[in-house]
Each structure stands twice: as C-alpha cells, then as structure tokens.
Amino acid sequence: MTKLTLTADGSHTLELEGVGEHYHSTEGAIEEARHVYLRPCLYEAFDHFPTAEPLSLFEMGFGTGLNALLTMLAAEQYRRPVCYTAVELHPLPNEVYEKLNYPQCLDIPREHFLQLHDAPWGETVPITPWFSLCKLQVDMVDFRFPSDAHFHAVYYDAFAPQYQPQLWTADIFGRLSQALVDGAILTTYCCKGDVKRALCAAGFQVQKLPGYGRKREMLRAFQQSDSQTK
C-alpha cells in the first residue's frame, strides 16, 4: 500500500506504508528528478549523441511516471525525439496516479500526464511527436533485454539497496550494459559503495556527483566500449 505525501517543493511522492521508503526525496520530488536524472543524464545524452536518431532511454521503475513526464516535456522543449522504455513490476492503480499533483506543479494539462499512465503496456506508442513510450510490466531481476536494444541513457531508480538488494547487483548491471551503446550514460540517486563496485564490476566507469538535498553524493556511470562482449 502506498500513501500520498507532499515533498518540500510542493510536489507529491508516494510512501511505501509500513516500510518508510519513498518513491522520491521528501525534499522535493520534481527537483530531485531534475537533479538526478534530467540534468546529468538526459541533457548530457542530448549533448553527447547525434541528433539524427531518436535518443533511446531506459528507466528502471516507472512508478509515478514523474521521470517520464519531465523527459517528455524536455523532448518537446528541445525538439529531440526520445524513445522511452520503462520496466515496472507493480503499476500504480488509477485511483493513486490520478491524485498525483505533477500537472498542477508543472502547469500543464492533466491529460498530458494521464496519457503516460493510460498508455497500454507491452507496446511502443507515440505519445507526442517527440516522445514515444514503451512500458513493460516485468521483474527487472530476471528481465532479458531484447538483443537489438541500444539505449543511450538509463535512469536507474529502484528502491534503495537495503530494501531491494537484488536490484543492485553486478549481474543486473552486466545485463543492462549489454543493452547499451558505447558511451551510454546511467545515473542513480544511490551512492552506496556496494553499488559503485557492482557497476564497476559490470564494466562501467563510475563517477560521484553532488547528490540532491541531504544526500551528499549520487552516481553517474558511463558504458565503456571495451567492456562490451556483444
């Protein structure tokens, strides 16, 4: 069960009741998403990869759809096509996502947000001229990426390792790495030593960046071409 909570920037997050874990920072869900995923990952990928082909992005944990929404708005603003693939084991029910206040916070029509949730699962659908979405209801633990996957950017937004250690392993990062193009960029709010080591073991080059709010650090990782085995 999840509980709707207001964060410090006025945007909602969800709390896993009885666990105390939140979907976002309680110091600001929208601001954290911009700090951890938009600026160091999406915008960096826009700069790094050529404009000719759509930017292919993978998200671990669709959840509230906030990262997808901000990415869709950025794709429109910068007129860069983005193909967004997200996995989610437990999609939110209508009565939960309909209460999220992201449209009001971002001053956009409610339908622009709801269409991300209402989009069908298991297929790629155009949402706007610049943004297509493929939501997959699968368990990341045993998910096998299609052999033609070639993501340029990854938002790794699983619950923290103390709650879900199985989602932060070198094995998962290794499989993910095989689905990335050379130089692909991954960011995550997490900066645990074990996670950094798991990413390095999977062949990523890892750097620490200033974290959001009370978090001193976060991680950004780059796919290195010589770690590719495909």
Interface with ligand SAM by CB under 6 A: which residues? 23, 61-64, 66-67, 87-90, 139-141, 157-159, 164, 167
DSSP secondary structure letters along 56-90: EEEEE--TTSHHHHHHHHHHHHHT--EEEEEE-SS
Ranked by CB distance to ligand SAM, the top (closest) residue is 63
Q: Of 56 and 59, which CB lies nearer to ligand SAM in the complex structure?
A: 59
CB of 225 to ligand SAM, least distance (A): 28
| CB 186, min distance to ligand SAM, A | 14
Residue type, 48: H
User: How many secondary structure helices (H) and strands (E) does the chain include?
Assistant: 8, 11
Question: Measured from the CB atom, is 80 or 135 closer to ligand SAM?
Answer: 135
Nearer residue to ligand SAM within complex by CB, 120 or 129: 120
Q: Alpha-carbon distance 175 to 171, whole Å?
A: 6
Least separation in angstroms between CB 58 and ligand SAM: 12
CB of 63 to ligand SAM, least distance (A): 2
In the bound complex, what is the minimum distance in angstroms from residue 85's beta carbon to ligand SAM? 12
Cβ distance to ligand SAM smaller for residue 164 or 224? 164
> Based on CB atoms, which residue is closest to ligand SAM, 101 or 227?
101
Neighbours of 5 (CB within 10 A): 14
Please list, residue by residue across 160-176, b when 16 or more beta carbons sit within 10 angstroms of its beta carbon and e when fewer do: ebeeeeebbbbebbbbb
CA-based nearest residue to 179, from 158, 153, 209, 213: 153
Closest C-alpha among 152, 183, 182 to residue 51: 152
Contacts of 167 (CB under 8 A, 6+ apart): 60, 140, 141, 158, 159, 161
Q: Least CB distance from residue 53 to ligand SAM, whole Å?
A: 25
